[in-house]
Amino acid sequence: MTAFGIDLGTTKSCIAYVDDAGHPVVIRTAPSVVYFERKDSVVVGAAAKNAALLAPDLAVQLVKRQMGRKDADYAFHGTRYTPESISALILKELAAAAERRLGHPVRDVVITVPAYFGVAERQATRQAAEIAGLNALDVLAEPVAAALSGPPAEGVRHLLVYDLGGGTFDISVIRVDGVDASVICTDGDHRLGGADWDARIRAYLLEAFAEQHPGLVPTADEVFMQDLWIKAEQLKEELSSAPTRDKDLRFAGAVARVELTRRRLEELTADLLDRTMKITQETVERARRHGVTEFDEVVLVGGMTRLPAVAARLEELLGRTPRHHEPDLAVVRGAAMFALARQSRQADRLGITAAEAESMRSRRVTTVIPRGFGVRVLDHNDPLARTDPMRARTYVIHLLPAGTRLPADSGPVTFTTVLDDQPVIEVEVWEQSGRDSSEELADNTLIGRGKLRDLPPELPKGTPIHITFFMGETGLLTVHAVEPVSGRELRFDLQIGGLDQAAVDKAKTAVARHDISS
């Protein structure tokens, strides 16, 4: 059975597969918008995006920003939805399009996620697939997928992947070593994307309308405003290939013809592009500190990189011409190729050489934890530690630092008791919250705790306790603590993010009941 790649994007999603000749084929792209038309009846895609302009309360957009958050939920027509189940509705629509095209059921998929997604968001993405009745072979970082979408090359290569989409900007440094691909560093602005360019164009159009018809105030008119949203995005997209374009704005019998040139658009949005370039430059410097001094390739990803100004500015900054081939499809094409590789038995029926099949099969992608996990410990350098340990400074030691490959095993790390005759040890598990690793409590989040009880009496303070963290690829963290002399131990699991199985099963039944149209 064919395996598919899915780019589950913030504003746009796509599904693709690799055909018998070994070429990735994109079957469908659709806006990531779900419109809750009636109970158990939803619309997904372009029609939903239009419907959302007039009835925003019945639509969900940008659900990707909520993935993995346990406090995010939605309700429509008396039914509750999680970000996972809303994403599942999008996945189902894409899968249905693929089923119609190929005439057989879709089951195995590889779904892409941003490189900065932590274990929680990745697990939520896997569960969205499960709720949609799909089998996620893997979740794959978007810049890695984009890197894999290019022709295979020999040796160690470093790629800079610049991804400017509808609502987010991501910049990543990827290392590809023959069969192995990993993210070296990543940064971005998750509140910066095409929507900000659109907003500038709308303001420009409104101003131009007001100049031509000073007496009219169209902004309270819903239909006018809906049209303005659509025309602003159209203008932006058209100006990627044309130097100038005009649009007619109509209100109350009046018409304003407004012209926008590419040059004017670039002026109106220069500060937005500047922000991406600043982050890019910082990331290039960070990569240098990681020993990456040169890039073998600069890869453009995301619909917004079709604006000629993007490649021009990057070339100015980096002194090289970026790879620029259907940038909004690079991620899904790479995901489809990776899905094929994951499903090795498929390679046999491809019209490709044995060596090519083998090289695809063996392409591995390493999952690393983007944020560290650790325990809270007492600071023995704080004088209070001796006199009043309960009030002394505590901090976090990361047993699994950011960047650790999964599956990961910290091995036993030795800590000590802080009081004489201490009967109980509380093991608190903390996850790094910021981009940079820090031992301060304020830069970490408490995500779970357990108690090692009934320690034997008369243990002196300073008695060693061994703690081990193990994390599997799905983000299940197993914590083990043992007092080696008595053998008293504590073991507990924390699922980092995601829903529990009962909630997944329930959502699966609920989503299956929905009639999904596009």
What is the C-alpha separation between 270 and 274, in angstroms, rounded? 6
How many Cβ atoms are within 10 Å of 246's Cβ, its own excluded?
10
Q: How far is the CB of 230 from ligand ADP (least distance, A)?
A: 11
Nearer to Mg ion, 280 or 410 (CB): 280
* Burial of 476 per CB tally in 10 Å (0-12, 13-18, 19+): middle
For ligand ADP, the binding residues (CB under 6 A) are 9-12, 165-168, 193-194, 233, 236-237, 240, 302-304, 306-307, 328
Smallest Cα–Cα separation from 176: which of 156, 152, 150, 149? 156
3-state helix, strand, coil in the chain (%, to 5): 35, 30, 30
Beta strands 156-164 and 297-301, pairing class: parallel
Partner in contact with 166, chosen from ligand ADP, Mg ion, none, beta carbon below 5 to 8 Å by kind: ligand ADP
Smallest Cα–Cα separation from 69: which of 124, 9, 108, 3? 124
Nearer to ligand ADP, 193 or 372 (CB): 193
Q: How far is the CB of 142 from Mg ion (least distance, A)?
A: 6
Residue 114 binding Mg ion, by CB under 5 A: no
Evaluate whether 360 touches 347 at the Cβ level (below 8 Å): yes
Residue 9 binding Mg ion, by CB under 5 A: yes
Partner in contact with 247, chosen from Mg ion, ligand ADP, none, beta carbon below 5 to 8 Å by kind: none
In whole angstroms, how far apart are CA 146 and each of 15, 112, 174, 223, 358?
Answer: 14, 10, 10, 38, 20
Angle made by CA atoms 406, 411, 414, in degrees to the nearest 5:
140
Helices (H), 106-179: 119-131, 142-148
Before 83, cis peptide (omega within 30)? no
Q: How far is the CB of 267 from Mg ion (least distance, A)?
A: 26
Q: How far is the CB of 119 from Mg ion (least distance, A)?
A: 21
Q: How far is the CB of 68 from ligand ADP (least distance, A)?
A: 17
What is the C-alpha separation between 33 and 403, in angstroms, rounded? 33
Local structure of 272: helix, strand or coil: helix
Residue whose beta carbon is closest to ligand ADP: 194
Which residues, including other chains, have CB under 8 Å from residue 250's CB and lie 6 or more apart?
Answer: 224, 227
Nearer to ligand ADP, 65 or 393 (CB): 65
Q: How far is the CB of 302 from Mg ion (least distance, A)?
A: 5
* Burial of 21 per CB tally in 10 Å (0-12, 13-18, 19+): exposed
Nearer to Mg ion, 10 or 182 (CB): 10
Partner in contact with 236, chosen from ligand ADP, Mg ion, none, beta carbon below 5 to 8 Å by kind: ligand ADP
Residue 166 binding Mg ion, by CB under 5 A: no
Partner in contact with 167, chosen from ligand ADP, Mg ion, none, beta carbon below 5 to 8 Å by kind: ligand ADP
Q: How far is the CB of 9 from Mg ion (least distance, A)?
A: 4
Partner in contact with 234, chosen from Mg ion, ligand ADP, none, beta carbon below 5 to 8 Å by kind: none
Q: How far is the CB of 109 from ligand ADP (least distance, A)?
A: 17
Smallest Cα–Cα separation from 4: which of 106, 121, 142? 106
Residue 165 binding Mg ion, by CB under 5 A: yes
Nearer to ligand ADP, 106 or 310 (CB): 310
Residue 188 binding Mg ion, by CB under 5 A: no
Partner in contact with 240, chosen from Mg ion, ligand ADP, none, beta carbon below 5 to 8 Å by kind: ligand ADP
Partner in contact with 118, chosen from Mg ion, ligand ADP, none, beta carbon below 5 to 8 Å by kind: none
Q: How far is the CB of 174 from ligand ADP (least distance, A)?
A: 17
Q: Which stretch binds Mg ion (CB under 5 A): 43-51, 158-166, 316-324, 464-472?
A: 158-166
What residues line the site for Mg ion (CB under 5 A)?
9, 165
